Amino acid sequence: MNYQRRRTNSSNLQYIRQYPANSDDFCLPRLLISNVRSLHLKIDELEMVYKDNEADLVCITESWLHSGIPDSGVSPSNYLIFRNDRLTTIDGGVCIYVNSKIPSQRLIKYEDQGIESLWLSIRPFRLPRSISLILLAVTLHRVALLRTKHYTTISKQMLTHFFVIIQVV
């Protein structure tokens, strides 16, 4: 097959300034998001990916972790793990890895039993003055809900919950 490179419309591009790690200016943490589907079986591969990309925050959905898998079995060095395992079935669950150099705190009060989510307050050392902290949430929105009559109600409940939290913070 003959592949041709598509032309880029330069009016659609915007330059995003990246700050070097040793810069005195602010920098935002690098974020990696992945739907892993069984984290404990893929931890080595995931570790390689986020180290290659120098990710500070790694959000995982479908972690498939449970109480029988200790944090030490899925926590690489220099990262803290925060997890919210699904208790009813093998699949599901969410977790977040945070570079151990970044101060972070789990916000359990914002988590809702009906919404599979995990909330963190993160305060990197160099942020713009207008930003005092970063509120990070990872949530798992079940595709199976699409087939139920309660899908719209649950989606509205999730959005309402998020907006209430954002207004409180």
**Domain span including residue 31:** 27-143
Tell me the CATH number at 107: 3.60.10.10
From 99, 83, 94, 75, select the one nearest 37 (Cα to Cα).
94
For the segment 59-77, what is each residue's pLDDT rounded down to a tens digit? 999 999 999 999 999 988 8
Tokens standing for residue 90 = 């093998």
From 49, 94, 108, 103, select the one nearest 76 (Cα to Cα).
49
Is the residue at 106 inside a domain?
Answer: yes
Count Cα atoms within 13 angstroms, Cβ side, for 123: 7
Tokens standing for residue 19 = 């700050």
Is the residue at 163 inside a domain?
Answer: no
Is the residue at 5 inside a domain?
Answer: no
How many domains, in total, are found in the chain?
Answer: 1
pLDDT in the model for residue 115: 76
Reported as a pLDDT band with limits 50, 70 and 90, residue 104 is very high
Is the residue at 15 inside a domain?
Answer: no
For the segment 143-152, what is each residue's pLDDT rounded down to a tens digit? 555 555 555 6
Question: What's the pTM value of the predicted model, to 2 decimals?
Answer: 0.74
Low-confidence winner among 36-40, 50-54, 165-169 (lowest mean pLDDT): 165-169
Is the residue at 14 inside a domain?
Answer: no
Is the residue at 84 inside a domain?
Answer: yes
Q: Do 61 and 94 contact (CB within 8 A), yes or no?
A: yes
Is the residue at 159 inside a domain?
Answer: no
Is the residue at 37 inside a domain?
Answer: yes
Q: What dihedral do alpha carbons 10, 52, 132, 114 form, nearest 10°?
A: 100
